[in-house]
Amino acid sequence: MNDKQLVISAKGLTKKFGDFVANDHLDFDVFQGEIFGFLGANGAGKTTAIKILCGLSIPTSGDINVAGYDVYTETEQIKSNIGYMSQRFSLYPDLTVSENIRFYGGIYGLGWKEIKQKRKKLIEKLGLVEERNGLISDIPLGWKQKLAFSIAIMHEPKIVFLDEPTGGVDPVTRRMFWDMIYEVSESGTTVFVTTHYMDEAEYCNRVCIMDEGKIVALDTPEELKRNYHAQNMNEVFIKIAR
Amino acid sequence: MKSFFGFVKKEFLHIFRDPRTMLVLFGMPVALVLIFGYVVTNEIKDIPIAVLDHSKDEMTREITQKIISSGYFKLMAELTSSNDVEAMMLKGDIKEVIIFEPGFAVSLQKDGKADVQLLADASDPNTANLIVNYTKGILFDYLNKQNQAGTSYQFDTRVRMVYNQSLKGVYMFVPGTMAMILMLISAMMTSISIAREKELGTMEVLMVSPLKPFQIIIGKVIPYIVLSFINAVVIILLGFFVFGLPVRGSLVLLLAENLLFISLALSLGILISTVSESQQVAMFISLFALMLPTILLSGFIYPIENMPVILQVISYAMPPKYFIIIIKDIMIKGEGLGLVWEETLILFGMMIFFLLIAVKRFKTRLE
């Protein structure tokens, strides 16, 4: 991994809300093209960390760089260089497929020509040609999710943050979704994903397990399983959490 | 800039695609103006009245006859003593008592002048006003006919409103309805639409995007400014064409004041959206914190002068109160900025105040 370019570097990332420490001195590096998994129970501090990395929230202390920009002073540049998708898919149900693509392309500053080109490709790739002028509320959940992901990477960000992207989706669709993630990562985009599905953790290049605001483990899934003498990531997680 | 226009366009699409929003935006204002308008300008018919005729001469009889045969009034009782008047009014089934002074015809012929007293039940001030005006109309009509014969008689009509002496603050429904509708649309609809994005999760994505917070706020607000402004114009037109309420003052000033009030309501809407996580919460806060005070405490329906002192004090903090004063002054009295500058300044100050808090809260919510 060391020959790869560093895209996220966090040293001593700390975020406090009053007396409550949501992130306690997190140290991690993420490299270009990597699929980096962020695991942890609800309330472990995943969302707080992801907000800081997306430039939404200023950390209390720590040196943090995202896509080469500082999270304290260069949040604008960070925002232009990342993509983001949350559990809720973030599409407008009362707009059509085309309109959603156009809108999100627009807010990332893409030109109309570029949007049109990309939209055509994207719609063909996802097989939504017939539904292109149908409202988002009328298309199935699996497609919505794939569309949301495609839209999140439409402006070709260096890093894409996925905050529990597969929540509430059936296993088949989840598997297909991960195929898309692999494809994106092969093209050189870094994928930073949070999840609490342990089987998904196996798909990541490296995972970082959080508990009560601290990083308790950070390694490849294979190493983690070996170190904890576990069959799968689920066992790893249970052993660590205990 | 381009991304910003895309945002505004998206906002319009949301509005135009939601039938309920469209109904609230364009159906409700018209319905409200018509309802309030007709409640207030209701034609009067068969109003129960009593006559206390101290004179009982040919003239008073003729006048009474004329009043009854007009179709607007129904004579319920002929009183004989002033003592009966109050009891009669208290029962509530008499809306007006007409009192002729003793020797009415004699003094009219001799002095060219006679006294008529009209006592109206002003617990419903609007109806009382109407009744009195109709009665006066008939009286003066009679007088004109008499004067055609070459005399120059005068009636000295004394009107006394019972139960609401001053009659000040009797609402003119158009300014009040305007305040209410603009408040409703601007504040409630923006707060709901921002809360909706939070519910959908799209707000998060917008925040992560290169769009700046103030661009998001302005983008959200612009469609509602445009639509509220159209509504204000529609209300003014309805007032004019349906109810004959002219705009006596400057139309430009009137529209500018509307724009000011819309901006104020919008900043309140943004403020509400920062404290509500769901559309329901946004709607309830808008209704209870904005709509009720607008209706009850602004002088729209209930005259502020008649309120308990504590409510009068609270009413000073109600933006619609100033807006209604301004609109009444401009539309009905035909005043210019010279007379309404104080109220305008207060509204402007309130707008800046709420806008600053709203933007500050909106930003800190990102943390």
Same domain, B66 and B19: no
The range of the structural domain enclosing residue A82 comes to: 6-90+157-241
Same domain, B142 and B14: no
Sign of the alpha-carbon dihedral angle for B249, B253, B256, B262: negative
For chain A, the average pLDDT equals 88
Same domain, B6 and B112: no
Q: How far apart are CA A60 and CA A43, in angstroms?
A: 18
Overall domain count for chain A? 1
A118 inside domain: no
- Please check the confidence at residue A238 and state whether its pLDDT lies above 90: no
Same domain, B107 and B238: no
Find out whether B320 and B180 touch, Cβ atoms under 8 Å.
yes
Same domain, B180 and B141: no
Among candidates A156, A142, A150, A56, which has minimal Cα distance to A100?
Answer: A150
Note the Cα B100 to chain centre separation in Å. Answer: 35
pTM: 0.74
Residue of A nearest to B201 (CA): A90
- Per-residue model confidence as pLDDT tens digits over B6-65: 889 999 999 999 888 888 888 888 888 888 777 655 556 788 899 998 888 888 888 898
Joined together, the tokens standing for residue B39 give 């409640």
- Please check the confidence at residue B345 and state whether its pLDDT lies above 60: yes
SS3 state of residue B54: coil
Q: How many CB atoms lie within 10 A of CB B309?
A: 7
Which CATH number belongs to the domain containing residue A41 in this structure? 3.40.50.300
**Residue A161: its chain B contacts at CB < 8 A?**
208
**Residue A57: its chain B contacts at CB < 8 A?**
366-367
Give A90 or B261, the one with higher predicted confidence: B261
- Per-residue model confidence as pLDDT tens digits over B184-234: 888 888 899 989 888 888 888 888 888 888 888 889 899 999 999 999 999
- Per-residue model confidence as pLDDT tens digits over A7-60: 999 999 999 988 898 889 999 999 999 999 998 887 788 888 998 999 888 899
The range of the structural domain enclosing residue B285 comes to: 2-40+170-364
Same domain, B97 and B32: no
For chain B, the average pLDDT equals 83
Q: Which of A79, A87, A91 sits opposite B208 (nearest CB)?
A: A79
Same domain, B304 and B196: yes
- Please check the confidence at residue B367 and state whether its pLDDT lies above 70: no
pLDDT above 70: percentage of residues in chain B: 89
**Residue B319 is inside which H or E element, if any?**
helix B319-328
A106 inside domain: no
- Per-residue model confidence as pLDDT tens digits over B283-339: 899 888 888 888 888 877 766 777 788 888 888 888 888 998 888 888 877 778 888
Q: Using 50, 70 and 90 to split pLDDT, how confident is the model at A63?
A: very high
Q: Which of A76, A84, A106 sits opposite B3 (nearest CB)?
A: A106
- Per-residue model confidence as pLDDT tens digits over B62-101: 889 888 888 888 888 888 888 888 888 777 788 889 998 8
| Residue B92: burial class (beta carbons within 10 Å; 0-12, 13-18, 19+) | exposed
Same domain, B186 and B118: no
- C-alpha separations of B48 from B97, B164, B209 in Å: 9, 19, 69
Same domain, B234 and B321: yes
Residue of B nearest to A153 (CA): B209
Best residue in A57, A90, A98 for a mutation probing chain B (most B CBs within 10 Å): A90
The verdict on a CB contact (< 8 Å) between B209 and A108 is yes
pLDDT at A89: 64
Distance from CA of B363 to the nearest CA of A (A): 10
pLDDT above 70: percentage of residues in chain A: 98
A149 inside domain: no
Overall domain count for chain B? 2
Sign of the alpha-carbon dihedral angle for B201, B207, B208, B211: positive
Same domain, B145 and B175: no
Which CATH number belongs to the domain containing residue B110 in this structure? 3.40.1710.10
